């Protein structure tokens, strides 16, 4: 029997991530090849004409799974009954700007949109915040939408996770699909800690630990970490625009694994509401290794954390606590 369509909200849909993301959703990359979708696209009035152009293109592309498109500048209409909300709307970082510079513009948007989601989305709506500062925007959204369960509000660090897989695949000259279980700890910012201590590569002789295969602790502790941390900035420098196709693809990965489950033996990184696991202060949206099953994520427990990792995990938690107070000062 054909499934009922799911409603997917994309905010900032006239922007560059939105333009890459909506066709991926309409092709089934987010919710599966047998799941019909209705896409709700929200943007602000100055972008209304461009948004309508995106709607025209979605119609023109004749996607079999696409059962409807709403293109609107009305946040209530956009949020109405949505099952999945991908929050991309906001102001992107430009060359030379730190993420903190975009904070004051973006946190007030997330405060306002929290109440629209709370009142009008489906009660079990799953929320993914992409717009920067992603962790802190998600936290503000959570705090101003108290009736949405904590577990339903997440932010995107899957792009960083995928970047880490990509760097290891290039270093070891193996296919990226054979690398798994890297971890992004903390903030989607240059303080994030990309950790390959538990990552493995699938070889003809079974799974091998990445640190053993790399055999160069210095690379993993310096160049690898710095490259992943700075990849967003490197793309802005090269494109004069922030990442879009990789961000959109990673957003699909995030929701797909959350809804449909992570493959057995694999974990992924998601920015989720911290419960104090690994000594990270509760009440932050912090990126952890998670597995997903039946639409629920759980933090992978019991991983051994060495002193080097501990320091890096705490440094990015500290930045998130500072961002949280800065966000509140911007809202006051």
Q: Which residues are catalytic?
A: 188
Query: What is the Cα–Cα distance from 22 to 40, expressed in whole angstroms?
Result: 10
Residue 18 marked in a binding site: yes
| CA 274 and chain centroid, separation | 16
- Under the binding rule (CB under 6 A), the answer on residue 27 touching ligand LMR is no
CA distance 176 to 186: 23
List all residues 6 or more positions away from 66 whose beta carbon is below 8 Å from its beta carbon.
26, 36, 37, 38, 39, 58
Interface characters, 78-117, with ligand LMR (x: CB under 6 A): ---------------x-----x------------------
Residue indicated by tokens 């991530």:
17
Note whether 132 binds ligand LMR by CB under 6 A.
yes
To ligand NAD, the closest distance from the beta carbon of 184 in angstroms equals 10
| Residue 247 CB-density burial (10 A; 0-12 exposed, 13-18 middle, 19+ buried) | buried
Backbone angles phi, psi at 155, to 5 degrees: -130, 165
Q: Which does 16 bind (CB under 5 to 8 A by kind): ligand LMR, ligand NAD, none?
A: ligand NAD
> Is the separation of the CB atoms in 25 and 55 below 8 Å?
no
Rule CB under 6 A: which of 101-130 touch ligand NAD? 109, 130
Q: What, of ligand LMR, ligand NAD, none, does residue 20 touch, CB below 5 to 8 Å by kind?
A: none
Q: Build a one-symbol-per-residue string for 230-249: x at contacts with ligand LMR by CB under 6 A, - elsewhere.
A: --xx-x------xx------
In the bound complex, which residue of the shown chain has the CB atom lying closest to ligand NAD? 15
12 assigned binding-site residue: yes
- Give the nearer residue to ligand NAD in terms of CB position, either 12 or 36: 12
- Of 84, 88, 107, 285, the one binding ligand NAD (CB under 6 A) is 88
Binding to ligand NAD by residue 70, rule CB under 6 A? no
Q: Nearer to ligand LMR by C-beta: 24 or 48?
A: 24
Q: What are phi and psi of 213, to 5 degrees?
A: -70, -40
Q: Which does residue 12 bind out of ligand NAD, ligand LMR, none, counting CB within 5 to 8 angstroms by kind?
A: ligand NAD
DSSP string, 211-245: HHHH--HHHHHTHHHHHHHTHHHHHHHHHSS---H
Q: Which is nearer to ligand NAD, 3 or 119 (CB)?
A: 119
**Residues sharing a CB contact under 8 Å with residue 57, sequence separation 6 or more, in sequence order:** none
- Alpha-carbon gap, residue 89 to 42, rounded angstroms: 8
272 annotated as ligand-binding: no
Of the candidate residues 85, 121, 134, 148, the single one contacting ligand NAD (CB under 6 A): 134
Known binding residue 132? Answer is yes
Q: Give 16 or 80: the residue with its C-beta nearer to ligand NAD.
A: 16
Site string for ligand NAD, 245-274 (x = CB under 6 A): --x---------------------------
Q: Measured between alpha carbons, how far apart are the two ends of the chain, in Å?
A: 51
Looking from the CA of 110 toward its CB, the CA atoms found within 13 Å total 35
Give me the numbers of helices (H) and strands (E) for the chain, helices first please.
Answer: 12, 14
Give the residue from 129, 147, 148 showing the smallest Cα distance to 137.
Answer: 129
Count of residues interacting with ligand NAD (CB under 6 A):
28
What does the alpha-carbon distance between residue 103 and residue 320 come to, in Å, rounded to a whole number? Answer: 12
CA distances from 72 to 5, 45, 270 (A): 19, 9, 29
Minimum CB distance to ligand LMR, residue 241 (Å): 9
Task: Name the residues that contact ligand LMR, by CB under 6 A.
Answer: 93, 99, 132, 159, 232-233, 235, 242-243
Task: Name the residues that contact ligand NAD, by CB under 6 A.
Answer: 11-12, 14-18, 42-44, 47, 88-90, 92-93, 109, 130-132, 134, 156, 159, 188, 242-244, 247
In the annotated binding site, the residues are: 12-18, 43, 93, 99, 106, 130-132, 163
């Amino acid at each position: 029997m054909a499934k009922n369509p799911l409603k997917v909200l994309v905010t900032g849909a006239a922007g560059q991530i939105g333009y890459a993301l909506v066709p991926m959703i309409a092709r089934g990359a987010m919710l599966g090849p047998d799941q019909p979708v209705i896409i709700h696209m929200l943007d602000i009035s100055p972008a209304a004409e461009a948004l309508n152009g995106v709607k025209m293109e979605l119609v023109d592309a004749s996607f079999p799974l696409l059962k409807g498109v709403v293109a609107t500048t009305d946040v209530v209409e956009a949020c109405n009954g949505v099952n999945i909300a991908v929050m991309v709307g906001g102001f992107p970082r430009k060359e030379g700007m730190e993420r903190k510079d975009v904070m004051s513009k973006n946190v007030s948007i997330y405060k306002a949109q929290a109440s629209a989601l709370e009142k009008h989305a489906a009660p079990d709506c799953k929320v993914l915040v992409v717009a920067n500062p992603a962790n802190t925007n998600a936290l503000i959204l959570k705090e101003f939408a108290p009736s949405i369960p904590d577990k339903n509000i997440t932010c995107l660090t899957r792009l960083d996770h995928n970047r880490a897989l990509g760097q290891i695949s290039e270093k070891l000259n193996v296919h990226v699909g054979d690398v798994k279980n890297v971890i992004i700890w903390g903030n989607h910012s240059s303080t994030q800690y990309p950790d390959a201590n538990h990552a493995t590569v699938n070889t003809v002789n079974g799974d091998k630990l990445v640190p053993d295969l790399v055999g160069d602790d210095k690379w993993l502790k310096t160049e690898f970490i710095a490259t992943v941390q700075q990849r967003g900035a490197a793309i802005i420098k090269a494109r004069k625009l922030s990442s879009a196709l990789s961000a959109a693809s990673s957003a699909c990965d995030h929701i797909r694994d959350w809804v449909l489950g992570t493959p057995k033996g694999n974990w992924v990184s998601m920015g989720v509401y911290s419960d104090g696991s690994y000594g990270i202060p509760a009440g932050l949206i912090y990126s952890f290794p998670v597995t997903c099953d039946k639409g629920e994520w759980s933090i992978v427990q019991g991983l051994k954390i060495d002193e080097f990792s501990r320091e890096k995990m705490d440094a990015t938690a500290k930045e998130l606590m500072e961002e949280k107070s800065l966000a509140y000062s911007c809202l006051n």
